[in-house]
């Protein structure tokens, strides 16, 4: 995994290939000195400089600056400038310079309504995430060049630390995106387990349980979902044990990793079924998030459990009407084989608790209902503990992985009551679909704080989101949230 080099410098130092000057709609020209200020003033008078969010203008300096090019990047209205606006502007600047690459300098601005360290973090994330390309499988790559060094002008020690941390986390976000974008013929459950195994190190152990071991543990739900495929299921387990770990706390991360979801016998429509390779984005997030936390030396033990399977159709596929027994002993009537994500998570949640997780958080591209409710920007959050919910929301807000709380209530449980088993895996009522899935998962979450993030919208995009995520496909949603959450545990 490549990581952009970070440097913090004073104004006038160095000779970057390009300098970015942020501009708000309320201002006429960005801050600049000497001949460059005059050139920018001329562009402003001609109406070519505007601070619209994401708008960029490139100026060839002709010796008026140490850099050959200056990019003016719009931040939008001053009253609306936040970290996302800075990320969007940085991404736009990087895309504008994709033909040149090299060293990019960004001028931090103390007049912005955002502290310098938060500006730096957002600049790095926007540049790295906005510069990502999903086209690694093309035989003839477009001759785009990457930014290999990012210089932050006007920073301090706090800026340097925030920027380097952001560069590390962003690298892992893009690693998760590569997993989600991988074609299903290259990323089966076993392949995902092998990719996770590559992360093993001094404080990080990785193992994968095969179909036989899954059956021996009584994981009837995970086993049933994966049995129609020649590529059998895997339960991937990562254990991060830092030397400075917080006592009596184990952060349990659980991820859904359906490496391809045809819907089983309840077959999905053919239109856009190819995007179902991204139904493992939750699993990719928790694996990459664990890798990021380990590299950053987060002071908390982490137990990560990923349920990986292909949901296909064959003579051995599980059927509507089947009754499965999950690892915790509860029985599940199958009413829709395309509601498979909650089935694999049921056994993974049980395993996380069995292995000692005290605080559990699962990530899953689980329901279309959540995407209908929140679109492609926010994920939905469900929690059985108010304090744990608030911790996750704070980490989400700080990280840029936006999350919104939804309710749990025992009366919703009746929607998945079954006449034949302890519960059924879906409801024929077109009501509260995402809530019902969360209530189903609560049956397997065990004792202690648990939360569920339904990331169906922001986990895998069908089109540009109009901000720093302009590419379709995996976003790496959840990696930044996990890294932020893990870092907030203190020894």
Catalytic positions, written as ranges: 268, 342
Q: How far apart are CA 231 and CA 66, in angstroms?
A: 56
Of the candidates 123, 233, 128, the residue with the CA atom closest to the CA atom of residue 176 = 128
Backbone angles phi, psi at 216, to 5 degrees: -65, -30
Q: How far apart are CA 173 and CA 129, in angstroms?
A: 8
Q: How far apart are CA 245 and CA 47, in angstroms?
A: 56
Residue 158: HSE in the Cβ half-sphere, 13 Å Cα cutoff:
6
DSSP helix/strand/coil, 105: strand
Find the angle CA(476)-CA(480)-CA(484) to the nearest 5 degrees.
160
Whether 438 and 424 have beta carbons less than 8 Å apart is answered as no
H or E element that contains 57: strand 56-60
Nearest 10 degrees: CA dihedral of 281, 287, 293, 297? -170
Backbone angles phi, psi at 170, to 5 degrees: -65, -35
Within 8 A by CB and 6+ apart from 155, the residues are 8, 9, 108, 116, 120, 163
CB atoms within 10 A of CB 475: 29
């Amino acid at each position: 995994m490549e990581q952009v080099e970070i440097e913090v410098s004073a104004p006038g130092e160095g000779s970057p290939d390009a300098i970015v000057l942020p501009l708000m709609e309320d201002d006429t020209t960005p801050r600049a000195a000497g001949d460059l200020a005059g050139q920018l003033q001329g562009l402003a008078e001609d109406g070519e400089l505007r601070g619209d969010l994401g708008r960029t203008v490139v100026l060839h300096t002709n010796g008026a600056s140490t850099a050959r090019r200056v990019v003016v990047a719009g931040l939008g209205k001053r009253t609306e400038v936040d970290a996302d606006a800075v990320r969007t502007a940085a991404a736009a600047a990087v895309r504008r310079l994709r033909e040149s690459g090299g060293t990019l300098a960004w001028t931090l601005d103390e007049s912005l309504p955002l502290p310098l360290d938060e500006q730096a973090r957002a600049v790095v994330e926007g540049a790295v995430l906005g510069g990502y390309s999903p086209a690694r499988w093309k035989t003839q790559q477009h001759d785009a060049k990457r930014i290999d060094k990012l210089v932050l002008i006007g920073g301090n020690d706090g800026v340097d630390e925030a920027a380097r941390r952001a560069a590390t986390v962003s690298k892992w976000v893009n690693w998760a995106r590569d997993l989600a974008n991988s074609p299903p013929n290259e990323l089966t459950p076993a392949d995902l387990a092998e990719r996770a195994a590559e992360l093993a190190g001094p404080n990080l152990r990785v193992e994968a349980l095969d179909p036989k071991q899954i059956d021996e543990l009584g994981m009837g739900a995970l086993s049933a979902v994966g049995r129609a495929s020649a590529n059998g299921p895997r339960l991937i387990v990562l254990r991060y044990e830092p030397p400075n770990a917080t006592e009596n706390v184990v952060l349990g991360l659980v991820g859904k990793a359906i490496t391809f979801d045809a819907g089983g016998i309840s077959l999905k429509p053919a239109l856009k079924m190819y995007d179902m390779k991204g139904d493992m984005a939750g699993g990719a997030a928790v694996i990459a998030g664990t890798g990021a936390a380990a590299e950053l030396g987060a002071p908390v033990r982490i137990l990560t459990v990923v349920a990986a399977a292909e949901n296909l159709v064959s003579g051995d596929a599980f059927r509507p009407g089947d009754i499965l027994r999950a690892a915790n002993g509860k029985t599940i009537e199958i009413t829709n084989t395309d509601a498979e994500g909650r089935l694999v998570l049921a056994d993974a949640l049980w395993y996380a608790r069995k292995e000692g997780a005290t605080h559990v958080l699962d990530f899953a591209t689980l329901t279309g209902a959540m995407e209908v409710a929140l679109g492609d920007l926010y994920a939905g959050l469900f929690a059985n503990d108010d304090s744990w919910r608030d911790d996750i929301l704070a980490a989400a807000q700080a990280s840029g992985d936006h999350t919104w709380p939804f309710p749990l209530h025992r009366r919703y449980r009746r929607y998945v009551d079954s006449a034949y088993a302890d519960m059924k895996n879906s409801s024929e009522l077109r009501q509260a679909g995402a809530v019902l899935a969360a209530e189903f998962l609560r049956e397997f979450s065990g004792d202690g704080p648990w939360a569920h993030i339904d990331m169906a919208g922001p986990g895998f995009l069908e089109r540009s989101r109009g901000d720093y995520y302009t590419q379709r496909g995996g976003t790496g949603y959840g990696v930044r949230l996990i890294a932020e959450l893990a870092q907030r545990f203190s020894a």
